[in-house]
Structure 1
């Protein structure tokens, strides 16, 4: 296969809820190319643009037993250092073809261990362990620019969850809404927010509303990738787990449930395991194929 030959592209929806009907729109679609060994960067970018999902993952190399793979991620507009939902999608695609168990993804941000198993309902789950997370308070100019592009006011924010820039492979601005209505009403300046995100190096905004101690509702604008909103964002989920840990809000090992995609008609569920003694975060989700190779 040459770099000008169109590769086989699998399509998977990642982070589909356990109870989701197989025919329902749910989860975050990702493209998966299991053999991208002969594709150059321009070819991978062209495939991702044609697929049109927020990310497409490309397996560029595998070891002899296929359990250690090198992966790159592309949005329709640019390469992304790490993508959680495309990692889950790729791991499930590999597990369905090569068997469940442990895999190791070599990514631009470092090695990402991924475990896979079969759920009782017959779907395959994948759990990725992030690189070490970190989080810092957002600066006044960062916050001002983001709120202006979103059309939010400072009073719309939850004072108990301060704005931070959190890292879980990529940087994400975390903003917590004071009410569910504020989160639901998302209509922002696409170009203005994209410019702000490029200036500060953010991959998405992690907009959250806390329903309870362990359950959060989430939305993730992604204009820098050419996408208005991501239905499920594994990298941002890892960063958010690190954010809560940095704030001292995780006193013991806990599993958080992040509900994303609800307001855009693609409900998604991300399970986030945070341990106060470990800077890494584990993000688990199901994935199912939504189309054959194309």
Structure 2
């Protein structure tokens, strides 16, 4: 397939301040000539967990339409690709506020210069929600993960949380359990497709203000995400639903460490607001 010249793909690593960390994302800043099949083909060729496509743009109003594709399918929202696109745009039109129309709803992002050659982006999610996972959902996921119920932290119950997409949240009892991830790819894919989960958000609580996370993403054709902004937003809603945040709390999430791609996500959760703010840097990946 031949793609229009405007389909040139930029590559950024999100939620890191150096290319060797974070989650790589493809960014196409002018995707208006592309149809869905072409965007999917571009994403498959890039091979990252997501590539984001700017399908319409109004630079004067700083408003854009974004679509997100994994190598296998379109997804409604992707946090790390949104951060990557925001930094790419800020580098070209200047830092400031951005507004995105996505399949998940309107997403607002603040971008600021944060030192020489570095831009920080903060996205505000759509309203989050979280519900207790059903026993059958948990059992099926644990079987595919090759985990047992004793591997879970009873103080952090399993939930299905939403922050633009739905994610199953499972809390590991120990850091060692989180580090030892060897799941059945096909089995977990099947479970996630049945329930409509975008990732399984595996977490371990180091302290009240710091968590470690891993996100299997087999439904996107990717074993694991090094940083997952949408899941971080959903996790903020999970903590809010459980009453584990105060009027306004800031939580640090460390992800990708066990993959050799350390990523840092900061979430701001308000007990009175269902929206969650997710902050991180993004940097170009040298070609």
The 1-side partners of 2:107 and 2:44 are apart by: 25
TM-score, normalization: structure 1?
Answer: 0.95
Q: Which residue of 2 aligns with 1:14?
A: 14
TM superposition outliers: structure 1 runs of 4+ over 3 Å: none
The 1-side partners of 2:178 and 2:51 are apart by: 27
Equivalent residue in structure 1 for 2:148, among 130, 133, 153: 153
1:232 aligns with 2:231: no
The 2-side partners of 1:64 and 1:144 are apart by: 48
Q: 2:76, 2:104 within 8 Å by CA — same for their partners in 1?
A: yes
1:270 aligns with 2:269: no
Q: Which residue of 1 aligns with 2:170?
A: 175
The 2-side partners of 1:134 and 1:56 are apart by: 26
Shifted more, 207-216 versus 63-72: the winner is: 63-72
Shift, 1:26, TM fit: 0.3
The 2-side partners of 1:287 and 1:39 are apart by: 25
TM-score, normalization: structure 2?
Answer: 0.97
Shift, 1:65, TM fit: 1.2
Q: 2:4, 2:33 within 8 Å by CA — same for their partners in 1?
A: no
Look up the SS of the partner of 1:286 in the other structure: strand
Q: 2:32, 2:56 within 8 Å by CA — same for their partners in 1?
A: yes
The 2-side partners of 1:82 and 1:223 are apart by: 16
Shift, 1:63, TM fit: 1.5
Residues 88 and 198 of structure 1, relative CA distance in 2, 3 Å threshold: same
Look up the SS of the partner of 1:47 in the other structure: helix
Q: Kindly provide the CA deviation profile for residues 56-95 of structure 1, in whole angstroms up to 9, marking residues without a partner as x.
A: 0000001251610000000000000000000000000000
Shift, 1:252, TM fit: 2.4
Shift, 1:121, TM fit: 5.0
Shift, 1:122, TM fit: 3.7
Shift, 1:148, TM fit: 0.1
Q: 1:136, 1:165 within 8 Å by CA — same for their partners in 2?
A: yes
Q: How many equivalent residue pairs?
A: 286
Two-structure CA RMSD over aligned residues (Å): 1.3
Q: Which residue of 1 aligns with 2:284?
A: 289
